Structure 1
């Protein structure tokens, strides 16, 4: 291991804080039309690619059964030019500016000197793996790291990794990896900056240290580093809310909120007597008294029972007021199903004839089956329905149950009103037809929601 000097964030802190005040004032009055156009353009380009490729960049390690992790699009934010220029001058962190620019929680944390420099490396056979630093609170942590060596450049794909606690156990958390390819020449050697975004499972505590291993050149490189809990000790605000809301005849209780430097967690419980399946709130966000929005890009749980949504953090902004808002509720009927003949590629019955069997193909000893969900409007497309239950089953014509592999991806094009869902099922000689139970299905009610948080 090699250790470098601590990054001098405190020397830049005074200039950063002055810039924060200026940027916050500008954000209140800045026109949104140009920004919205840029966002739409970027989203449309992304929609033309299959989500299957991107899903490989997100791994989930969960011990508790039934824990669902919902991933949504990361909200677009504007980066302070002064912040970016100052960070670029700090050795070891310049490459991470573009990487984190889509996460306002990480940006404001760095602006407020909320980073723990690590600068520990492991080196083998010309490969170097360096953990540059971490940004952490008691529930979330971003690990900033750099890799370099033969064949390593911006075109390097996903690198396998392991994360273990000091006692050698796997870390219980959802772990997202971020890397953006660039146009480095093939065969060039260019250091690559990446980061892991770690969200601790409910009831799990941030460990005192981590063992981070990365597979480079067919060998494992390892860095052990401490997590300084004193940096975020006491930086937590818990708010009891207990406010009820009703949408489309479905009742919910906003239970509480927990504000930490890197996120705001809001827990919402569904009433057990609800007669529809809740699939999430439409355009849910937090907004403060100056109109600044704090978007949600992940959650633990199920909107149909109890869910804890994670929003961008307002901790360092310290707004006087914070309100939970939404435009309505995604919901569908219970006990829906689709019946198909996979030999003839025919759909015999489906809800409102909007879900159709599109194809079946033998791949790696399994059948890959694709279903097209038709007549999707712009609101329908946003949530990314689960469609079939996680770990679910289907039945053949004789009533025999078979497992459904987890979803292999979702494919759509912004110019079409359909979304294609891809699944794998066993390659068996089924007695037709096959019936699949549906968990989530399109449907929504528009109704403005506004719940004061503080």
Structure 2
């Protein structure tokens, strides 16, 4: 079980049938289909980075930059979405099997988010059962669980058993006007496809985080790309090339129909299901003031809101080992965060007598060290917080400019991969001109036994004047002081 909040997770993409990865290496990248490990401590960095970049893009163009982390080694983010609960009771399994179309999801709800299980036990599931089918392949939305700001979608993909299994690909959620939902989301499945009546069946879940201040529309449409359908005997799929983090990947195939499933949201199911607990406690960590403002409990998560004093001499990137603990010592697991809000699995339907927030360190950096200046032509770093950050390579391709970097001597306790090292906001060039929307993707990896991180950014090819000035999104610099604060 994950004990601390850590806002990172994505994975590197490899072809099917490649050799098993080096177990010492853990990788992240922008979008890759495949199975998800819901208990990884780096689950949420991708979600946090993606939502932050999405918000920056929204402010500039008033539209969402959707963050899709997926698993294969995102998915997530997250995640993820196959992130479900503790050992389920026979009564609960029977209850779920009684909902048409959902009986096959029992095995997915095994190890993870207790709040999801409790929401199901308390009848928050909304059965859907809507399907779109083309050319022998189909997408079904079996059901949803939703509260005021989070939704979990249960989906099912089917195709002929002689073909490669049909998996979730480039999903989007749209409102009745056809506009993309302003949300972060991640998705994943149970890994291996099952075969039922001569058809591959892939069942998975999609976790959707609505941006703060927004509300759900009455109806949503899930769209999924199909791509090329390949036979299982295709040798290029059985022994295709493997990819390292940062390698240029072939473009995704956009052929085939788009799958579209629309479904309504019954808002009465979760109306008024919210409890707010004021905290209002401020701590000082190495002279930096941090205020725990309030906890908001809804059926699918606890939102812990934190504030940082504007007069702080350091920028605080977030808590490193923050967790929620009840009076019996049980830990309520973090499942993400954005800006100054940290999310945890929900205690709404099983509220402990007492709940505490505790931890001992935060990531923070002096405000005069937040810029990194890089000359891409000379492949040199001109300014950085310290000498641990190094450029490994700068290359140009049809995808733009790929900046590869490394980061040394990250402590073992810090499980963040630092893939999205730089802010998604404006980039300034040597002539003082600012550029928005300059980054197309990022990824990274970590060697568990060395404290080293390796990452990359794909930068759009624009008429920059060197050098370029980036703003750090986070960095492995710390302030430390143990704390324990009662929430209720």
Q: Is TM (by shorter chain) over 0.5?
A: yes
The question of whether the paired residues in 2 share the 8 Å contact of 1:140 and 1:198 is answered with yes
Larger Rg over CA atoms: 1
Superposition pairs for residues 378-393 of structure 1, below 5 Å?
Answer: 378-382=412-416, 384=418, 386-393=420-427
Counterparts of 1:368 and 1:239, CA distance in 2: 46
Counterparts of 1:352 and 1:437, CA distance in 2: 15
The question of whether the paired residues in 2 share the 8 Å contact of 1:143 and 1:195 is answered with yes
The alignment partner of 2:353 has SS state of coil
Counterparts of 1:154 and 1:97, CA distance in 2: 24
The question of whether the paired residues in 2 share the 8 Å contact of 1:55 and 1:409 is answered with no
Bigger drift between 127-136 and 265-274 goes to 127-136
Shift of 1:241: 1.9
Larger helix percent = 1
2:315 maps to 277
Superposition pairs for residues 192-231 of structure 1, below 5 Å?
Answer: 192-216=202-226, 218-231=256-269
Relative to structure 1, the CA distance from residue 92 to residue 400 in structure 2 (aligned partners, 3 Å threshold; closer, same or farther) is closer
1:363 maps to 397
Counterparts of 2:379 and 2:411, CA distance in 1: 26
1:96 maps to 105
Shift of 1:231: 1.6
The alignment partner of 1:149 has SS state of strand
Q: TM-score, normalised by structure 2?
A: 0.73
Relative to structure 1, the CA distance from residue 386 to residue 167 in structure 2 (aligned partners, 3 Å threshold; closer, same or farther) is closer
Q: TM-score, normalised by structure 1?
A: 0.78
The question of whether the paired residues in 2 share the 8 Å contact of 1:394 and 1:436 is answered with yes
Bigger drift between 408-417 and 121-130 goes to 121-130
Shift of 1:418: 0.9
Shift of 1:243: 1.5
Relative to structure 1, the CA distance from residue 132 to residue 366 in structure 2 (aligned partners, 3 Å threshold; closer, same or farther) is same
Superposition pairs for residues 86-165 of structure 1, below 5 Å?
Answer: 86=94, 89-90=97-98, 92-101=101-110, 102-150=112-160, 155-165=165-175
The structure with higher relative contact order (CA 8 Å, sep 6+) is 2
Counterparts of 1:290 and 1:152, CA distance in 2: 52
The question of whether the paired residues in 2 share the 8 Å contact of 1:156 and 1:181 is answered with no
Counterparts of 2:213 and 2:465, CA distance in 1: 45
Shift of 1:391: 2.8
Relative to structure 1, the CA distance from residue 452 to residue 131 in structure 2 (aligned partners, 3 Å threshold; closer, same or farther) is same
Shift of 1:179: 2.5
The question of whether the paired residues in 2 share the 8 Å contact of 1:213 and 1:223 is answered with yes
Relative to structure 1, the CA distance from residue 375 to residue 175 in structure 2 (aligned partners, 3 Å threshold; closer, same or farther) is same
The question of whether the paired residues in 2 share the 8 Å contact of 1:394 and 1:437 is answered with no
Structure 1 unaligned regions, length at least 5: 1-31, 37-42, 302-306
Shift of 1:219: 1.5
2:365 maps to 332
2:487 maps to 453
Relative to structure 1, the CA distance from residue 140 to residue 341 in structure 2 (aligned partners, 3 Å threshold; closer, same or farther) is closer
The question of whether the paired residues in 2 share the 8 Å contact of 1:385 and 1:441 is answered with no
Shift of 1:47: 6.7
Relative to structure 1, the CA distance from residue 51 to residue 156 in structure 2 (aligned partners, 3 Å threshold; closer, same or farther) is farther
Counterparts of 1:330 and 1:73, CA distance in 2: 23
1:295 maps to 333
Relative to structure 1, the CA distance from residue 198 to residue 45 in structure 2 (aligned partners, 3 Å threshold; closer, same or farther) is farther
Question: What is the RMSD of the two structures over their aligned residues, measured on CA atoms?
Answer: 3.6
Q: Deviations over 1:100-130 (max 9, x none)?
A: 4332221222233321111222333322222
Shift of 1:283: 1.3
Q: Deviations over 1:138-157 (max 9, x none)?
A: 21111111111246978544
Q: Could you tell me which of 86, 89, 113 is aligned with 1:78?
A: 86
The question of whether the paired residues in 2 share the 8 Å contact of 1:154 and 1:192 is answered with no
The question of whether the paired residues in 2 share the 8 Å contact of 1:256 and 1:267 is answered with yes
Q: Deviations over 1:39-92 (max 9, x none)?
A: xxxx99877242116567877665742899896776896323536753674452
Counterparts of 1:148 and 1:157, CA distance in 2: 9
Q: Does residue 1:255 correspond to 2:232, yes or no?
A: no
Counterparts of 2:23 and 2:130, CA distance in 1: 35
Counterparts of 2:272 and 2:461, CA distance in 1: 55
The question of whether the paired residues in 1 share the 8 Å contact of 2:158 and 2:165 is answered with no
Counterparts of 2:188 and 2:295, CA distance in 1: 27
Shift of 1:229: 1.7
2:343 maps to 310
The alignment partner of 2:316 has SS state of strand
Structure 2 unaligned regions, length at least 5: 5-10, 12-20, 35-46, 68-75, 228-255
Relative to structure 1, the CA distance from residue 405 to residue 265 in structure 2 (aligned partners, 3 Å threshold; closer, same or farther) is same
1:265 maps to 303
The question of whether the paired residues in 2 share the 8 Å contact of 1:51 and 1:411 is answered with yes
1:21 maps to none
Counterparts of 1:76 and 1:225, CA distance in 2: 23
Relative to structure 1, the CA distance from residue 214 to residue 344 in structure 2 (aligned partners, 3 Å threshold; closer, same or farther) is closer
The question of whether the paired residues in 1 share the 8 Å contact of 2:417 and 2:446 is answered with no
2:188 maps to 178
Shift of 1:423: 1.3
Aligned residue pairs, count: 408
The question of whether the paired residues in 2 share the 8 Å contact of 1:146 and 1:191 is answered with yes
1:7 maps to none
